[in-house]
Structure 1
Amino acid sequence: MDKTKKPKKVFVQGPINPDFVAKSIASHQSKTGIGAHALFLGQIRADQKEGGVVTGIEYSAYEEMAEESFHQIRESAFEKFDLICMHIYHSLGLVPTGEISLFVFVSSKHRKVAFEASEYIVEQIKANIPIFGKELVSEGGYVWKENS
């Protein structure tokens, strides 16, 4: 792992806008060595919970620690997979149901590598990043979200 690389900014305030996703894809069209992209978009579900239906999730994190953990996941993915590029964005603050809170975008020469790397990265994020989600429910309360 390259300790000299500075961690990239991962967090964005509020939902990840679909226009941002589209611009990210469009900005890679000039990189003609890429043969495959894999995208993962995490969207907020309106799950039924005790106290009502989820209306959104309010995310918080120990940002410095989380950014370092994201950096470690990024570096390990580049070591493990033959990737050309990778982008990870995660929301902080309130994200209403139906909106995007996680955007993982990987590019490689071949689709199998892109698919495998994307799954690896998402699983590592869920298991290792200190992000906390408070699910807001329709009856006015909240439930702390547990990753599964």
Structure 2
Amino acid sequence: MKNLELFEGSLPVEKITNAWYAKYKSSNYGAIITFVGVVRDEDKIDGLSFDIYEPILDTWFNSWIEKAKKLNAIVLMAHSCGDVFNHESSYIAAVCSPKRRVALELIDEFVEDFKAQAPIWKYDIINGNRVYAKDRSTAIKGSGILS
């Protein structure tokens, strides 16, 4: 099991979070905090679909591994590729730390930075079609022709 895992379709939440817990519960971490993102039934969508550019994602995630290491913590993440329907999970993040305050603060920073910086393109699934969710997308720093 790696710290960053990608899955086709919706995430097997219990399998992932239970495996993380089993692996790290005896590592003397006082806090193992998880965040599970669930696709909401809103705006008449049937779900979301995701494209991921793995080389940039790996670079982004590795910077978080280093940041967490300086705080004696680790970060874990799982994300979906492809289609994820309403009420299913597309994203799970976790922080393990000896101290709860570090874990609480780091999970918040990690999830917010993920939403702003990770190279994952989101599409709405509407009547079986993928429609780019431009209004809910954030430009990635350093991308684009004029960067």
TM-score by length of 1: 0.79
Cα offset for 1:44?
0.6
Aligned to 1:69: 60
Q: Deviations over 1:75-119 (max 9, x none)?
A: 22333x331x32111111111111111111111112111110101
Alignment of 1:24-43 (within 5 A): 24-31=20-27, 33-43=28-38
Contact 1:10–1:67, Cα closer than 8 Å, also in 2: no
Measured in 2, the distance between the counterparts of 1:67 and 1:93 equals 18
Are 2:11 and 1:16 equivalent residues in the alignment?
Answer: yes
Contact 2:3–2:75, Cα closer than 8 Å, also in 1: no
Alignment of 1:1-148 (within 5 A): 9-18=4-13, 19-31=15-27, 33-48=28-43, 53-79=44-70, 81-83=71-73, 85-138=74-127, 142-144=131-133, 146-147=136-137
Residue type matched to 2:21 in 1?
I
What is the alpha-carbon root mean square deviation over aligned residues?
2.2
Residue type matched to 1:99 in 2?
E
Q: Percent of pairs identical after alignment?
A: 24
Cα offset for 1:29?
2.4
Measured in 2, the distance between the counterparts of 1:60 and 1:140 equals 14
Distance 1:64 1:134, change over 3 A: same
Measured in 2, the distance between the counterparts of 1:34 and 1:8 equals 16
Moved >3 Å (runs of 4+) = 7-10, 138-141
Residue type matched to 2:19 in 1?
K
Contact 2:31–2:97, Cα closer than 8 Å, also in 1: yes
Equivalenced residues, count: 135
Q: Which runs of 5+ in 2 are unaligned?
A: 139-147
Residue type matched to 1:35 in 2?
G
Residue type matched to 2:35 in 1?
F
